[in-house]
Amino acid sequence: SQTIHQWPATLVQPVGSPLSLECTVEGTSNPNLYWYRQAAGRGLQLLFYSVGIGQISSEVPQNLSASRPQDRQFILSSKKLLLSDSGFYLCAWSVLHAYTFGSGTRLTVV
């Protein structure tokens, strides 16, 4: 069966520090991969999605970037975090339409 792993679960980082969040999927090939962000008490905002290795589409211009170095690995990065980057980051995968979310990373920028 397919599983999705996302880590770390929580992260507290100072303003201006770098960020790297990793997501991996098992049990499927060539999935579509997504990064969403959820601010406190808010909806899900699509940040990036990828339909294949090295293919990244950005939905929101900001100081975040994404990479897909392997078929089932999706990484969210930042060189310098801002206070406004705080939130709940969710990785998801899909084949056809149904999305499955990872357990999320709660990022607090202080």
- Give whichever of 11 and 46 is closer to another protein, judged by the CB atom: 46
- How far apart CA 14 and CA 45 sit, in angstroms, is 23
- Give whichever of 73 and 106 is closer to another protein, judged by the CB atom: 106
C-alpha 75: how far from chain center: 6
Label residue 49 left, alpha or beta by phi (over 0 means left) and psi (-120 to 50 means alpha). beta
HSE of 27, CA atoms in CB hemisphere, 13 A: 8
Rounded least distance, CB 80 to another protein, Å? 27
Rounded least distance, CB 33 to another protein, Å? 10
Q: Measured in Å, how far apart are the chain's first and last C-alpha atoms? A: 38
Residues that bind another protein (CB under 8 A): 32, 34, 42-44, 46, 49, 59, 90, 97-104, 106
- Give whichever of 15 and 60 is closer to another protein, judged by the CB atom: 60
Rounded least distance, CB 34 to another protein, Å? 6
- Give whichever of 42 and 80 is closer to another protein, judged by the CB atom: 42
